[in-house]
Amino acid sequence: MNTKLTVRVLAAIMGIIMIMSAFTACSDKKDPSDIVTDDVGNYTPEWVVEPTISAQLIQPLVCPYYNENTNHYDISYADCYKIMIDGKIGLIGSDGKMLVEAKYDDIFAIRDGDDYLAVIEDEDSVKQTYIHSDTFKTVSAYKKYNTKKYEYYWNNDNPLFVCTESGKVTEETFAPLLPEAVKGVKNRGGVYEPTGKYGLYVNLVNLTGMIYTGAGYYSDGLIAFESNDKWGYLDSNGRTVIPFEYDAVWGYSALGGKDTPYESFGGCVTVTKDKKFGVISSDGEILVPMMFDSATPVVEGKAFVKTQGKWGVIKVFETDGTASDITEPSSSTTTTTTTTTTTEKSTSETTTESTTRSTSESTKESTTESTTKTTTETSTETTTEKIVYTKGNYKITAESLRLRESSSIDSKEIYYLHSGDVVYVSEVNGGWGKTTINGVEGWFSLKYAEKY
């Protein structure tokens, strides 16, 4: 009797232990919503516009300009965005305010122009409406605009310069001054058919071979290519700067065609993978982790992002945050008295001009590499030698360099040039050069560039 009672008690105890173990095991399991799939660290968005905007899509308005000095399309983004509401397209500003009602089938920037073109299509016709980029007023009248689109084809190891407006293919040895993506084609009875392969073409040389399955446009020192269904970014030397682990942006292509990633712009790239978006610098530094459901390129330090079904605007960096500690020198010549030793920040070529540079407001301390030169006393006053600059192509040597409205350090900053950019200087004023890049005309200090 005592034995049976003991067995029953032990069985009851074992049952209790099993039940307690089951509860403990269940309590150790994490709810799927608690599992973090993306490490966002301590990043907290700085909202310029809270995520309250309802839209199916917000994407950049691409402004392509064909640069006849480099034979290349300069790609930039407008400071307003395309917005899709109920299947129709309008324009929205970075402050979250609607600029143009969403009632069109599409809106795009006029190639080599300053205004935008909105279209409404029906079965019989296409209605065009012009939108002024400064006032956003509309004009329902037909105007001629540039429809040219230049592409580089590659056939049997030969570069082909192509103007698709007329469909004419001109075979010639053509050397664009900036890197280009070449599209593989085969000549079948005088008709060039695509092979689906792409490569990087620089200075009459195919650096990579025809190994990629997709390509974007060279911009801001980088160009996107596709390999094994993933996209990465190469520099002008064909080196992989951003690894091949990202996806294309659905519905986006700078000049039409297959979906591509966004271009590098202003020193950073908005990228996407696994249906999440983030921002990285052009040298691979994470600026915004992969945490948003959608995002636009960064323009003037800000980007539209989508989270929890709503769109808002975040600040990625201050407007002057992409600039290194560089303030351009005055174009006036510095004079010294008696024998003088002068120090200056070295560039790629040693200069003999002594200049004075102020430190930018964002930097309290700056360290400069110095070269020392000694001038020989010839009189009570000695004028340092002045470099004479000429028109032509220049390559930017500074990490980031301000483009200004006029040839003065006090002039308004309107754009940024970056290391490796090649620009054409059409006019020189002292130590300043005038150029046009991405449709923006301005002046920059030639001290931070070298003849190319």
Q: Do the beta carbons of residue 323 and residue 106 sit within 8 Å?
A: no
DSSP 354-397: ----PPPTT-S-----EEEEEPPP-SSEEEPP-PPP-SEEEEE-
pLDDT at position 135: 94
pLDDT at position 376: 34
166 or 451: which leads in pLDDT = 451
pLDDT(439) > 70? no
The tens digit of pLDDT for each residue in 36-56 reads 234 566 899 999 999 999 999
d(CA 424, CA 445): 13
Mean pLDDT of 90-106: 96
pLDDT(315) > 90? yes
Q: How much of the chain, in percent, has pLDDT values that exceed 90? A: 42
pLDDT(88) > 90? yes
Q: Do the beta carbons of residue 259 and residue 66 sit within 8 Å?
A: no
pLDDT at position 218: 94
pLDDT(379) > 90? no
Q: How confident is the model at residue 313 (pLDDT cuts 50, 70, 90)?
A: very high
With 0-12 / 13-18 / 19 or more C-beta atoms within 10 angstroms meaning exposed / middle / buried, residue 197 is: middle
Cα separation values, 181 from 153, 209, 214, Å: 9, 11, 9
Q: Looking at residue 356, what DSSP letter applies?
A: -
11 or 106: which leads in pLDDT = 106
pLDDT at position 35: 25
- Chain-wide mean pLDDT for the chain? 77
d(CA 179, CA 233): 13
Q: Do the beta carbons of residue 295 and residue 287 sit within 8 Å?
A: no
Mean pLDDT of 407-429: 85
Mean pLDDT of 133-142: 84
Q: How much of the chain, in percent, has pLDDT values that exceed 70? A: 72
Q: How confident is the model at residue 311 (pLDDT cuts 50, 70, 90)?
A: very high
d(CA 73, CA 217): 8
The tens digit of pLDDT for each residue in 252-262 reads 999 888 899 99
Give exposure, 12-42, as e/b (b: 16+ Cβ within 10 Å): eeeeeeeeeeeeeeeeeeeeeeeeeeeeeee
pLDDT at position 245: 96
- Cβ contacts of residue 400 below 8 Å, gap of 6+? 267, 322, 323, 324, 326, 416, 417, 418, 419
Q: Apex CA 155: angle with CA 188 and CA 228, to 5°?
A: 105
Q: What residues are paired with 429 via a beta bridge?
A: 432
Give exposure, 155-176, as e/b (b: 16+ Cβ within 10 Å): beeebbbbeeeeeebeeeeeeb
Residue showing tokens 């002039």:
411
pLDDT at position 99: 97
Choose the most confident range, by mean pLDDT, from 182-186, 282-286, 312-316, 356-360. Answer: 312-316
pLDDT(207) > 60? yes
d(CA 307, CA 275): 12
